Every structure is written in C-alpha cells, then in structure tokens.
Structure 1
Amino acid sequence: MRVDPGHRSISAGVYSRAPEVPYANERRGRAVKKLLLVALAAIGGLLVYRQIQADRAEQDLWTEATDSVPTGS
C-alpha cells in the first residue's frame, strides 16, 4: 500500500474542524453589549452637557437683560 503525501486520510483527523469554543460567542456578545452601553452613556453625557450649556446661556441672557446697571457705564 502506497500513501501519497499530498493526500491525507480523513481518519487521521486532518480534515476535521476544531471544536468551537462554546463561550466564544457569549464573550463576543458581552463585549458588544458593553460597547453599546459605553456608547449610550457617552451619548447621554453629551446630551446632559449640551442641556447644561443651554441653561447657562439662557441664565446669562436673563442676567444681562435684568441687570439694573448698564454695562457701558
């Protein structure tokens, strides 16, 4: 019996696929969830920051409009 080195037998396990790690997809899912959570927190922080800036600008405008002493004097 002659074995050609270019052809390997299936029984040797050469063509079998490595078993998938069962927790690989779970870990990937957790990473995606964490990434989404961080992104949502960043967007929420940005919205809060912009609202605070808008409130400060409005307060400054009211302070300027109701100031009893003109700024040019």
Structure 2
Amino acid sequence: MGYHRAPDGPITFEEGRGSPVKKLLLVALAAIGGLLVYRQIQADKAEQDLWTEATDSVPSGSTGA
C-alpha cells in the first residue's frame, strides 16, 4: 500500500492485494476469536443458570399447594 505519482497523471493510491496466506491466517484468527467468545458466553450463561437454580426461593418440585 502506498501513494505514488503515475508517470503522466495525478497522485493515486495503490491498494495492496496482500498475500492469500495472510488473508487465510486472518480469517482463521477471526474464526478462533469468535469461537472463544462464543464459548465464554456459553460458560457465563451456564454459571448464571446454576446461580439462579441455587438461589431460587421455590424448589423445582414444589406445586405450591
């Protein structure tokens, strides 16, 4: 990436294409990051469900009558 002056024209911006290996690595890292975030959310939800069950004032099997 960089700016350059065309031989007989205005200043243009040359967009680098990047290596396919770098792009694949970036996609893989993004997928791994997404998986880690998903697993953390699931763990937090499971912990919250456990706390809700442990602190529930009405036992699960009660009918109330």
TM-score normalised by length of structure 2? 0.67
Name the % identity.
Answer: 91
- Larger helix proportion of the pair: 1
Structure 2's unaligned 5+ residue stretches are 1-16
Q: Which residue of 1 aligns with 2:9?
A: none
Q: Rg bigger for which structure?
A: 1
Quote the offset at 1:49 in angstroms: 0.3
Higher relative contact order (CA 8 A, sep 6+): 2
Give, as a single letter, the amino acid of the residue that structure 2 aligns with 1:72. G
Cα shift readout 1:32-51 (whole Å, capped 9, x = no counterpart): 00000000000000000000
Number of positions where the alignment pairs a residue of Structure 1 with one of Structure 2: 46
Q: Name the amino acid aligned to 2:23.
A: K
Provide TM-score, normalisation by structure 1: 0.60
More strand by share: 2
Runs of 4+ in 1 over 6 A off after TM superposition: none
State yes or no: 1:33 paired with 2:22: yes
Q: For residue 70 of structure 1, what is the aligned residue in structure 2?
A: 59
Tell me the C-alpha RMSD between the 2 structures: 1.2
